[in-house]
Amino acid sequence: MDDFEAIRQQFPILQQEIHGHPLVYLDSAATSQKPEAVIDAESTFYRTINAGVHRGAHELAARSTMAFEEARGKIARLVNADADEGEEEIVFTAGATASLNLLATAFGNASLGQGGEAAKRFALHPGDEIVVSKAEHHSVLLPFQELAQRTGATLKYFDLDDEGRVLADSASEVITERCRIVAITHVGNTTGAITDIAPIVRRAHEVGAIVVLDACQSVPHLAVDFHALDVDFAAWSAHKMYGPTGVGFLYGKRELLEALPPASFGGSMVELAFMDKPAQYMAPPARFEAGTQPVAQIVAAGVAADWLMGIGMKRIEAHEATITRELLKLGDVEGVRILGPRSEEGRIGTVAFEVEGVHPHDVGQFIDAQGIAIRVGHHCAQPVHRHFGVYASNRASSAVYNSPREAQALVEVVGGVRGFFRVK
């Protein structure tokens, strides 16, 4: 048994049959499966130390708080963020969508004058520009589109090349002196294409703009270093990196988090509250973590980060490249078009495709009948589908627990789709 076959054995859900076939799970871009270590961590927390964090003086509260903050440190190490007390750069949220909405709301609050002098750097005014791309997930596009509408800013976007890659070399034209925010995907959730971030970050900082990175599809698959990338903020979710649902992360450069006004309000984020004057809010990350956090899930997410680092992200990259190579053979099947790069270079093992003459939902059901799980639809990324001239597609997305053999099985099944539906 090789190392990655042993890793697969750590996932209980994969040890079953679907429709009489061994389960092949190729929908990890939507949500990844969870290893036993993560499942056990959540259960153990509830069995042994369940208590509120940063409140209460009893022993369980202390243990719970320690586990909570240790998880923050593990998440920070995964992406090379600062984790020392007073220098923390990781905020816990309810998901990547929540992280991105937190930022858009906080920028909007700054535009209304909240946060004082320090927050003025985030304020938007009529005529300012926000830049996204056609490749964005709706969780990036919509919060910043709404922010533009609320503040009078203009929404602009990077176009894509024929393979769906963000045209990063147009940064000097797209990002003008009026640009205040660039919100961009690190890896396309439909195309699997890795964005060339460097020229975008460089140009954005030349004009004083803030860079927000959607790292949902990169953190689980690539060795990511936010300090090296020099992005200002980044968002991603636990459930795509083998952790629980209901947990997300917001990375921010410490000096920016300290200047950013809060976006939600309640317990545990306020230093002093008064009846007759404004409250004084806590320093980050607490300022952005109002209310009761999903502590058990956060602790388990820290275990997921540890688990990934234990395998090694470079090893994961190399293993998943062998699967990508096989998935790209979908493009060799008659009547099948890949919506994304055909080369292994500069992409991950997320491959969207269309089958000529067969509706994607029919394709998905045919594949599911063979025990293979893939995604069907527009993948919350309608503009990129319009770029390819379609409204929906099928998407296979790999993870560390997949094998080249499973990718080959998918290609073989897809090869029978048009014959089954009698498409000529």
As annotated, the active-site residues are 380
Structure tokens at 403: 């094998």
Q: What angle do CA 94, 96, 101 make, to 5 degrees?
A: 85
What is the longest distance spanned by two Cα atoms in the chain? Answer: 75
The answer for residues whose C-beta is within 8 angstroms of residue 380's C-beta and 6 or more apart is 137, 138, 139, 189
- Residue 246 phi, psi dihedral angles, 5° rounding: 85, 10
DSSP-assigned letters across all residues of 145-201: HHHHHHHTPEEEEE-B-TTS-B-GGGHHHHS-TTEEEEEEESB-TTT-BBP-HHHHH
- Residue pointed to by tokens 């393979």: 163
Q: Helix 295-311 vs helix 36-48: angle between axes, to the nearest 10 degrees?
A: 150
Candidates 165, 157, 99, 95; CA nearest to 132 is 157
**Integer Cα distance of 282 and 162 in angstroms:** 48
Nearest to 130, CA basis, from 173, 98, 175, 172: 175
What is the distance of C-alpha 135 from the center of its chain?
Answer: 14
In the three-class reduction of DSSP (H, G, I as helix; E, B as strand; rest coil), residue 212 is classed as: strand
Q: Are 392 and 377 in contact (CB under 8 A)?
A: yes
Distance between CA atoms of residues 119 and 256, nearest Å: 9
Residue (of 47, 79, 112) closest to 233 by Cα position: 79
Question: 88 φ, ψ to 5°?
Answer: -60, 140
Of 339, 344, 300, 309, nearest to 323 by C-alpha is: 344
Q: State how beta strands 21-22 and 90-93 pair.
A: unpaired
Contact 353, 190 (CB under 8 A): no
